[in-house]
Amino acid sequence: MIEEIQEPTETGPRVWAIGGGKGGVGKSVVAANLALAVARTGARVALVDADLGGANLHTLIGIPSPKRNLSDFIARRVASLNEILAPTPFDNLWLVSGAKALLETANPSFGQKTKILRHLASLDVDHIFLDLGAGTSFNVLDFFLAARRGVLVVVPEATSVENAYFFIKAAYFRKLKRAQPRARVKAAVDEVMRGDARQRVRTPRDLMAQVMAVDAEAGAALMEEASTFSPSIIVNRIERSEQTRLGDEMGSACRDYFGINLRCLGNLPYDALVRRSVDERRPAVDLFPQSSFARAVRGAAGTVVGQPVEAVG
């Protein structure tokens, strides 16, 4: 299994994997703008395009597709990882083209995935934003889990919420499968699901409580594993004020159902200027810094870097 590539206390870049569920909710636009807003706080930021379905972060940033990419480094065609950091028009922000590396190995093994993430984590930056694209394939889930800071982008629509929960469920169970010692945990889970207590298991959270009752050590292992799964959520394209509650409400529902913490990183309003900025191939944070979207992105960036970000004058 792939390892988590860092603890929050460790040095090295913080890796934020932006993914989850549905296409068309604005993941790449959010990733590009958030990365730029964080770069403008003075932190060094690498934006990694890992969207297998359609890598186009370079277009959102307004540069040609980078000549060098992650596979060049893996194949040792470049000497140093820093050679694949493509400069952007913005200070402190670099783009890494990563999707090709993932595509070349159609189904990268755990070892390969670990290697890719290790390489990324050795970049000389403070934050890495990994745009994973849509979908719930094992590849996406593994990168999402391994990054430790998984961020789901949702819009206030039933299909998006549904996809987000589907993604969280898939990632959650993939995560729990890693609880050690695996045989003992599995035996305890099987015992619960065979016995009378099965009636009381309605949610993953119940399952953990029941496993705890039959085998405290296995239960603790599951809880330990679950406790390190705490994705964040960004709600995009908010049009009505009551929709600003969605992120927190989903957080409550996840706590009830999975027993996990889902933190809301930010609420981003629908803003027609975002579409214009995409057409102009410049992030809205740069082109329309006073737009409601850009302000909200700076708010989320403040949460990412752990301090409030002053509005750009």
Binding string, residues 192-231; x marks residues near another protein by CB under 8 A: ----------xx----------------------------
Which one, 245 or 276, has the nearer CB to another protein?
245
Distance CA 311, CA 297 (A): 10
Among positions 106, 158, 183, 272, the unique one binding another protein when judged by CB under 8 A: 158
Burial tier of 191 (Cβ tally within 10 Å: 0-12, 13-18, 19+)? middle
Sheet with strand 263-269: strands edge to edge: 86-87, 93-97, 45-49, 127-133, 14-19, 149-154, 232-238, 263-269
Residue type, 198: R
Copy the structure tokens of residue 49: 């395009």
Q: How far is the CB of 20 from another protein (least distance, A)?
A: 14
Work out whether 253 is an interface residue with another protein (CB under 8 A): yes
Binding string, residues 256-285; x marks residues near another protein by CB under 8 A: xx----------------------------
**Cβ–Cβ < 8 Å for 133, 163:** no
Q: How far is the CB of 300 from another protein (least distance, A)?
A: 19
Among positions 249, 281, 308, 310, the unique one binding another protein when judged by CB under 8 A: 249
Distance CA 172, CA 122 (A): 27
Work out whether 21 is an interface residue with another protein (CB under 8 A): no
Work out whether 162 is an interface residue with another protein (CB under 8 A): yes
Work out whether 252 is an interface residue with another protein (CB under 8 A): yes
Q: How far is the CB of 249 from another protein (least distance, A)?
A: 3
Q: How far is CA 137 from the centre of its chain?
A: 14
Residues 6+ apart with CB under 8 A from 77: none
Residues 6+ apart with CB under 8 A from 80: none
Interface region with another protein, contact rule CB under 8 A, candidates 13-21, 116-124, 156-164, 189-197: 156-164
Judged by CB under 8 A, the number of residues near another protein is: 16
Distance CA 165, CA 168 (A): 5
**64 preceded by cis ω (within 30°)?**
no
Interface region with another protein, contact rule CB under 8 A, candidates 61-69, 184-192, 224-232, 244-252: 244-252
Among positions 31, 85, 246, 268, the unique one binding another protein when judged by CB under 8 A: 246
Work out whether 239 is an interface residue with another protein (CB under 8 A): no
Among positions 67, 118, 198, 255, the unique one binding another protein when judged by CB under 8 A: 255
Distance CA 119, CA 218 (A): 34
Q: How far is the CB of 48 from another protein (least distance, A)?
A: 30
Distance CA 293, CA 298 (A): 9
Among positions 129, 143, 144, 165, the unique one binding another protein when judged by CB under 8 A: 165
Work out whether 240 is an interface residue with another protein (CB under 8 A): no
Copy the structure tokens of residue 12: 């090295």
Residues in touch with another protein (CB under 8 A): 156, 158, 161-162, 165, 202-203, 245-246, 249-250, 252-253, 255-257
